[in-house]
Amino acid sequence: MATVTLNVKTVRPLGERVLVKVSQSEEKTAGGILLPDTVKEKPQIGEIIAVGPGRRNDDGTFQPLEVTVNSKVLYSKYAGTDIKLENEEYVLLSEKDILAIIE
């Protein structure tokens, strides 16, 4: 059985899915108190690293996604599948779970 090394370059989303690199959460409160990992909120903002080909139409063609690589996005709190690659946090989302593009 062959061994596969997972890294950002080897993960290619399918369909209307996107791979998002999660932004780092705040380490301190506004008052300067350090937050332990157990109380940090999962950020809902990230940068799109890879996109799938899009939704397949009835005629077999693909409808491209509205988001593109390098877009900064806001996504639903409990959406997607969390993945850790190369010591970085990522989430694999469906495009419908993206709420907004941040410009």
Rounded to whole angstroms, the Cα distance separating 6 from 53 reads 20
pLDDT over 70 percentage in the chain = 77
- Read off the pTM: 0.78
**pLDDT classification of 9: cutoffs 50, 70, 90:** confident
CA 41/CA 77 separation, integer angstroms: 10
Q: Are 85 and 11 in contact (CB under 8 A)?
A: yes
Structural domains present in the chain:
16-102 (2.30.33.40)
Question: What is the structure's pLDDT at 8?
Answer: 80
What does the pLDDT look like over 43-89, one tens digit per residue?
A: 689 999 999 999 999 998 989 999 999 999 999 988 999 988 888 89
Is the pLDDT at 16 greater than 90? The verdict is: yes
- Of 91, 77, 85, which is closest to residue 47 (Cα–Cα)? 91
